[in-house]
Amino acid sequence: MSSCPAMPHMDELPFRNDRSGAYRQMHETGRVTISDKGVYFFTYADDVEAAAKNPHVFSSKDAFAVLASPFPLIPIEVDPPEHTRYRRMLDKFFSPRSMAERDSDLRKQAGALIDALHVAGSTCDIVSDLAVPFPSQVFLSLFGLPLEDTERLIAWKDALVEVADMDSAAATPEAIALAAEMYGYVMQHITDRRQNQGSDLLSLLLADRDEGGLTDAEIVGLCFIFVIAGLDTVTAAIGFAFNALAQDTELRTRLVEDPTMIPEFVEEILRVDGPVPFIPRKTTEAVEVGGVTIPKGSTCMLGLGAANHDPERFDDVDAINPKRSNHFAFGRGPHRCLGSHLARLELRIVLEEWHKRIPHYSLAAGVPEVRWPGVTLTLERVELTLG
């Protein structure tokens, strides 16, 4: 049995300006490494995939218990077979067909945001001007909440991410207060929907009795999960997509001339620059991975980003090849991202509507940097000069 090599300190990995280099450094250190906090990191695709598909040993429920949420974080906080029941209940609301029904409304919202920026020769920050507000508007539209609450939702999202960051110091009182404010907001709208049913997702979830239906607390937990896991990740993916296209005129021209390539490009940018570098799991028994024995009760980080850059799984790992797919950005196994089809729709809409209007643009400043360390890899700014 081999000893477990030490994981480089997170702050020392060059994610800020060399994400490919950070993943190479992780691969070179070992298949399984251990941090100074006793957390095990999996860096190769085969190990990440095997762990993600084995919730009996690598538990999601136990991994998120550290958040001590006062309401159930459905569906990430439960494992099969209980998780299977929740996914049967929820998947129909987040299927490709269900998401496609939202296309027209979301497309209008994206178009309005882009039109407000489209002045030839001007500059914009794609992150703050488009990538941050659009996913928040999508959440509000999906759940039938007022778009006028976008700024409030963004503030709540930032607070929830701070509260949920398992590696950060204790959340500030301001963040906790904002999280409580969002809880009251969602509960108020749940009460209203029970009296005034609509066609929005919140109404549909409340009315649905398949598999026993969801309690109010479970619906609140689902909303919180969407805000924590579904807003910053789409923001990050939009930023990475425009950063790549602004630096690759040939690829951008191909997408403009043939928009049917956009879905393939979305999949590949999610592989090359996936927003979520790691997902946590907790071992329910001792297990051997990569020649290392991991004790029961250990926290493991499954390296989704490292798996996407595994040279044993992908050729020419750093190159954007729109014909390639099968990435790890949405996870694997039973806990594969519930909102993956919605995220794909958002990314496709933004790229299609933008390139109809603004086919020519370039980086206005230096190469953007990622905010690091953090739960999500997100470019701080992507300033573009518009053609």
- The pLDDT value recorded for residue 2 is 67
Q: Is 148 exposed, middle or buried (0-12, 13-18, 19+ CB in 10 A)?
A: exposed
- The pLDDT value recorded for residue 387 is 83
CATH number at residue 242: 1.10.630.10
* Residue 4 covered by a domain: no
* Residue 39 covered by a domain: yes
* Residue 37 covered by a domain: yes
Q: What is the pLDDT of residues 30-71, one digit of tens each?
A: 999 999 999 999 999 999 999 999 999 999 988 987 777 788
Task: Give the Cα separation of 102 and 231 in Å (integer).
Answer: 17
Which residue ranges of the chain lie beneath pLDDT 50?
Answer: none
- The pLDDT value recorded for residue 1 is 56
* Residue 1 covered by a domain: no
- The pLDDT value recorded for residue 71 is 82
* Secondary structure of 19-43 as H, E, C letters: HHHHHHHHHHHCCEEECCCCCEEEC
* Residue 5 covered by a domain: no
* Residue 215 covered by a domain: yes
What strands lie across the sheet with 123-125, from one edge to the other?
Answer: 123-125, 383-386, 361-363
Domain count, the chain: 1
Could you tell me the residue range of the domain that residue 186 belongs to? 10-386
- The pLDDT value recorded for residue 331 is 96
